[in-house]
Amino acid sequence: MSAVPDHVSHLPLEGLTAMWQEVTSGNTETLTLHFENESWTVNSQISGLGIQYVLRFTATWQLQQMLLFRDLDEPDLWLANDGRGKWGEVNGAQIRDIGGCTDLDVRGSSFSRVMAIRKLAIGIGSSSFVDSVVVNPETLGVTRSRLTYTRLAPQLWKVARDDGHDDHEVQVDTFGLPLDIPGHFTRLS
């Protein structure tokens, strides 16, 4: 595996589990992360929204695909990234509006809001721009947003958005996973 930025530790190959609660709705996100077949898989269930999403990353944390399920037998949404910034659906249709995006933000998820932090190797006081696909689990709509990540302290980040959603500060743990996101999410475990 490649080196990780200085603010995060290597994830344990046996995986880990984390839980957050959304402050306003009380929805709970339960996330498991594990390594298999030379890639990372994130499986998240958000109670209250009745959704589950699965993300696949390369060993170096580059997003490859996302499946989103709502209480149905088949995936409601399947997106894949070809590694060069082209996104498509299960039927092979390219989605040009989100071309060039490297990350993904599922509305209602604490983890997906800040997953880029795991791979950003920037110093304190520096910023980095990340173009992200924003997924609305209710409508299955996909839009794009530019997120500006600014490292304020060793484990403290500010995330500014250009899409009208709230900016926020977030403290991350040793693995780069969010702790509390004030006004949005509380880490339970």
- pLDDT for 89: 86
- pLDDT for 1: 42
- pLDDT for 44: 97
- pLDDT for 2: 47
Print pLDDT tens along the chain (189 aa).
Answer: 445 677 788 899 899 999 999 999 999 999 999 999 899 999 999 999 899 999 999 988 899 999 999 887 666 899 999 888 899 987 778 899 999 999 999 999 999 988 899 889 899 999 999 999 999 998 889 999 999 999 999 999 999 999 988 899 999 999 999 999 999 999 999
The count of structural domains within the chain is: 1
Does residue 134 lie within any of the structural domains?
yes
Does residue 26 lie within any of the structural domains?
yes
End-to-end CA distance of the chain: 27
Distance CA 102, CA 47 (A): 27
- Long-range contacts (CB closer than 8 Å, 24 or more residues apart) made by 173-178: 174/8, 174/9, 175/8, 175/9, 175/11, 175/16, 175/118, 176/5, 176/7, 176/8, 176/114, 176/117, 176/118, 177/18, 177/111, 178/20, 178/110, 178/111, 178/113, 178/114
Does residue 85 lie within any of the structural domains?
yes
Does residue 147 lie within any of the structural domains?
yes
Tally of CB atoms within 10 A around 8: 20
- pLDDT for 74: 67
Question: Which residue range is the domain that position 120 belongs to?
Answer: 16-187
Does residue 104 lie within any of the structural domains?
yes
Does residue 1 lie within any of the structural domains?
no
Does residue 4 lie within any of the structural domains?
no
- pLDDT for 126: 96
Does residue 28 lie within any of the structural domains?
yes
